[in-house]
Amino acid sequence: MSTPDFNLLVTLDVLLAEGSVARAAKRLRLSPSAMSRALARLRETTGDPLLVRAGRSLVPTPRAIELRDRVRQLVQDTEAVLRPAEQPDLTQLTRTFTLRTSEGFVENFGAALIDRVAVQAPGVRLRWLHKVDKDSDALREGTVDLETGVVGKATGPELRTQGLFRDRFIGVVRSGHPLCEGDISAARYAAGSHISVSRRGQDKGPIDEALALLGLERKIATIVGGFSTALALARSTDLIASVPERHSASLRSGMYSFVLPVTMPPFTVAMLWHPRLDADPVHRWLRTCLRDVCAPAEDKTLLKTQ
């Protein structure tokens, strides 16, 4: 059995509403002959005359009268499906979004995002997951709605991304630490005991590579999996933590922060999502909220270059 031409539903809807081939043709911007051919196809498809002549006008058959309301509803439903999605009433929305972020991001930006969402959409709940790797499968499978991180080679090529803010690594020590006084040279920085942050447990990274170019090597006293853990250790010891500045702003309260005495390129923290959610109006609203929360001018938070 051949697939029916669903365009005929629109033609039938207009014919039944107008009761005239000429008026239906004008409404659909067709010639009278093209409309007559369309009526012939409808008669063949339905097995019913649909409209029959009564004097100078056409009148619907019982089958046409039976179909009229159903066809009208089908056409309206189809138009609604094909129409761009409208922004729902956020105050009445009930939905849970899952966000996957690196350690420190939710501690620094989570409260502001939760407050903003609660004001605009009190029925929306945020579920936070710790980002332990850069695998994109969770976004592809739909178990994660939005993710933050640095876009790299491991990022799925089909994912949508948008930058949130620029960041850079800085050094952080407890208040009263010896590095709080005097200039911090690369040699003085390297001579201290350090905390290495690595999700994979590695003891070497970009900072060590930058020091090696100067003929220096730092002593790694301990290795942790996240920046908030590194800052917690540095707060109560003489260890030196090296963390992203914007990413850790609220976690460094009461501590001494300084510009690293080695050349480290800045990087962009972005949000990532799957293309299937790109046009979803509620997801677009959430992305706007996150972008606004992370938007304060960097010159208000970044340390002055020493």
How crowded is residue 204: how many other Cβ atoms within 10 Å of its Cβ? 13
| Residues above pLDDT 70, as percent of the chain | 94
Q: What SS3 string covers 104-152? A: CHHHHHHHHHHHHHHHHCCCEEEEEEECCCCCCHHHHHCCCCEEEECCC
| pLDDT value of position 103 | 76
Question: pLDDT tens, 231-255?
Answer: 999 999 999 999 999 989 889 999 9
CA proximity to 24, closest of 50, 46, 44: 50
Asked if 272 contacts 146 with a C-beta cutoff of 8 angstroms, the reply is yes
pLDDT of residue 291: 95
The residue with tokens 């939710």 is 106
Structural domains for the chain? 7-82 (1.10.10.10), 90-167+268-300 (3.40.190.10), 169-265 (3.40.190.10)
Paired residues of 160 in beta bridges: 273
pTM over 0.85: no
C-alpha 10: how far from its chain's center? 37
pLDDT at 285 over 80: yes
Q: What average pLDDT is seen over the chain?
A: 89
Task: Look at residue 224 in the predicted model and tell me its pLDDT.
Answer: 93
DSSP letter at 169 equals E
CB 203 within 8 A of CB 210: no
pLDDT band at 77 (very low <50, low <70, confident <90, very high): confident
Q: Which two tokens stand for residue 125?
A: 């709940």
Q: How many residues does the chain have?
A: 306
User: Locate tokens 């677009």: which residue?
Assistant: 284
Both tokens of 116, joined, read 């903003």
Q: Using one digit for the tens of pLDDT, what is the confidence trace for 216-235?
A: 999 999 999 889 999 999 99
Question: Are 149 and 270 spatial neighbours (Cβ–Cβ below 8 Å)?
Answer: yes
Task: Give the pLDDT confidence score for residue 117 in this predicted structure.
Answer: 97
| 14 DSSP 8-state letter | H
Rounded to 5 degrees, what are φ and ψ at 99? -115, 135
